[in-house]
Chain A
Amino acid sequence: MKQAIELNVNGEPHTALVDSRETLLDTLRYKLGHMGPKEGCGNGNCGACTVVLNDAVVNACLVFAVEAAGADVTTVEGVAAEGNLHPVQQAFIEHGALQCGFCTPGFIMSAKALLERNPNPSEPEIRLAISGNLCRCTGYDKIVRAIQAASQALSQTA
Chain B
Amino acid sequence: MDAFEYAAPQNLQDAVALLAEASGEARPLAGGTDLIAQMKENRRSPSLVVDVKKIPELNVLSYAAGLRIGAAVSCTQIAGFAPVRVHYPALAEACALIGSYQIQNRAALGGNFCNAAPSADAVPPAIAYGAMLVIAGPNGQREMPAEDFFVGPGQTVLEKGEVLVEIGLPPPPPHSGAAYLRFIPREEMDIAVAGVGAFVRLSPDAHTCEQARIVLAAVAPTPVRAKEAEAFLTGRALDETTLAQAGELASQAASPISDVRGSAAYRLELVKVLTRRTLGTALERARGEAA
Q: Mark A residues whose CB is within 8 Å of B.
A: 1, 3, 19-21, 23, 42-45, 47, 50, 53, 56-59, 62-64, 66-67, 69, 110, 113, 127-129, 131-133
Contact = CB atoms under 8 A, between A and B. Distances in A.
A97 B196 CA distance: 39
Most buried by A among B29, B49, B100, B188: B100
A59 B37 CA distance: 11
A107 to B, nearest CB: 12
Interface string B25-51: 000010011001100110000000101
Nearest to A134: B189
Contacts of B3: 1, 19-21
A110 B51 contact: no
Contacts of A58: 102, 105-106
A131 B37 contact: no
Interface residues of B, number: 27
B266 interface: no
Interface of B: 1, 3-6, 8, 29, 32-33, 36-37, 40-41, 49, 51, 53, 76, 99-103, 105-106, 187-189
Nearest to A1: B5
11 contacts: A1-B6, A23-B36, A44-B33, A64-B36, A69-B8, A113-B101, A131-B100, A131-B101, A131-B188, A131-B189, A132-B102
Given A43-B40, A62-B36, A57 B102 contact: yes
A155 to B, nearest CB: 21
A128 B188 contact: yes
Given A20-B6, A113-B101, A43 B37 contact: yes
A44 B6 contact: no
B217 to A, nearest CB: 20
A131 B189 CA distance: 7
A58 B103 CA distance: 7
Top 10 nearest A-B pairs by Cβ distance? A132-B100, A131-B188, A56-B105, A20-B6, A43-B37, A132-B102, A59-B102, A21-B1, A62-B36, A66-B6
Contacts, number: 84
Contact of B100 (A23, A43, A47, A53): A47
A42 B5 CA distance: 21
B8 A66 contact: yes
Contacts of B36: 23, 62-64
A110 B189 CA distance: 15
Given A43-B37, A59-B106, A132 B99 contact: yes
Contact of B76 (A20, A56, A132): A56
B32 A132 contact: no
Contacts of A44: 33, 37, 99-100, 102-103
Contacts of A67: 8, 29, 32, 51, 53
Contacts of A45: 189
A62 B1 contact: no
B50 to A, nearest CB: 12
Contacts of B106: 56, 58-59, 62-63
A58 B32 CA distance: 11
